[in-house]
């Protein structure tokens, strides 16, 4: 983790958007991420809270930070943002570029246990442990004030990381997340390839299954879903499953779900409600 290399830096809304690369021990290859740092974290070295954003299928570290419209709100609330890539790239795994739903850009944020993926596709460990340690050591970040959010596959990843690590995140949110991958075509296909045929092993990466047994500090969660989302109507996302599971027992999650009429699965949808999500996290990061 000592080979952190600055690729670019751009001034933006009283802060800087920087792109870095580094050699990852988790994925066995070079990884790339962006970080927005408010000026207070650069000039005065005052530590600021941090938000991690996980992107969806086919995306990379740039999609959200260039199209999501988050930076003005992050600057207003003095919050750093980290946007990692969605998978290893160029690892040389057989078949990694043969299917847009598998491999490159489609890690599903799991630690793969099956060949040929197991050596490189360790994105759960990369995001939860390696990347966050690197960020905490390299920037003026208050790692005790961390939250996470994401979109689609990244929404799935954000919910899973938050539910599997009670007390680590102050809040979690998602735009159109894949909520129940073990019962969805987006999930069953990938989990079988990455994790094997034993479906009992899949539950550790399924937000709906995890929320049933969550037993940590109260976790505020916000989910936005568009009713014109083609993947919502085709039952790939299944947010209602997550809602029912969260209400099935005395679980210390504080869930708010919103159905947004006329909105689809795109970044136009994400841009529209980004201010709400940043404000939601800002409130919880201040507590």
Enzyme catalytic residues = 152, 229, 265
User: Residue for token digits 């735009």?
Assistant: 175
Whether 161 and 148 have beta carbons less than 8 Å apart is answered as yes
End-to-end CA distance of the chain: 31
For residues 59 and 86, the answer to whether their CB atoms sit within 8 Å is: yes
Question: Cα 115 to the chain's mean position, in Å?
Answer: 24
Coil, helix or strand at residue 128: helix
Q: Which residue has the tokens 């201010």?
A: 275
**Cα–Cα distance for residue pair 81/85, rounded to 1 Å:** 13
Contact (CB, 8 A) for 153 and 56: yes
| Region at 11 (left for phi over 0; alpha for psi -120 to 50; beta for the rest) | beta
| Residue 176, phi then psi, degrees to nearest 5 | 45, 55
Cis check: omega of the bond before 116, within 30 degrees of 0: yes
What phi, psi does 160 have (nearest 5°)? Answer: -65, -45
Given a contact cutoff of 8 angstroms between Cβ atoms, the answer to whether 47 and 147 are in contact is no
């Amino acid at each position: 983790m000592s080979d952190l290399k600055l690729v670019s830096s751009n001034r933006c809304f009283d802060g800087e958007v920087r792109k870095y690369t580094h050699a990852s021990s988790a994925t066995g290859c070079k990884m790339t991420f962006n970080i927005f740092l408010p000026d207070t974290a650069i000039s005065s070295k005052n530590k600021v809270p941090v938000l991690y954003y996980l992107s969806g299928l086919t995306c990379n570290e740039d999609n959200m930070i260039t199209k999501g419209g988050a930076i003005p709100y992050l600057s207003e609330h003095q919050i750093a943002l980290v946007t990692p890539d969605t998978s290893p790239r160029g690892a040389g795994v057989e078949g990694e570029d043969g299917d847009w739903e598998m491999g490159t850009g489609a890690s599903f944020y799991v630690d793969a246990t099956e060949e040929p993926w197991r050596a490189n596709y360790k994105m759960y460990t990369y995001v939860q442990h390696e990347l966050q340690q690197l960020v905490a050591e390299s920037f003026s970040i208050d790692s005790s004030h961390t939250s996470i959010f994401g979109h689609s596959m990244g929404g799935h990843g954000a919910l899973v990381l938050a539910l599997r690590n009670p007390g680590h995140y102050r809040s979690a949110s998602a735009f159109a997340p894949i909520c129940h991958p073990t019962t969805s075509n987006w999930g069953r296909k990938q989990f079988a390839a990455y994790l094997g045929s034993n479906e009992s092993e899949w539950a550790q990466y399924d937000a709906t299954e995890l929320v049933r047994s969550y037993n940590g500090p109260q976790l505020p969660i916000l989910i936005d879903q568009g009713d014109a989302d083609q993947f919502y109507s085709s039952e790939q996302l299944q947010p209602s499953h997550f809602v029912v599971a969260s209400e099935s027992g005395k679980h210390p999650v504080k869930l708010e779900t919103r159905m947004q009429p006329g909105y689809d699965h795109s970044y136009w949808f994400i841009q529209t409600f980004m201010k709400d999500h940043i404000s939601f996290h800002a409130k919880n990061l201040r507590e």
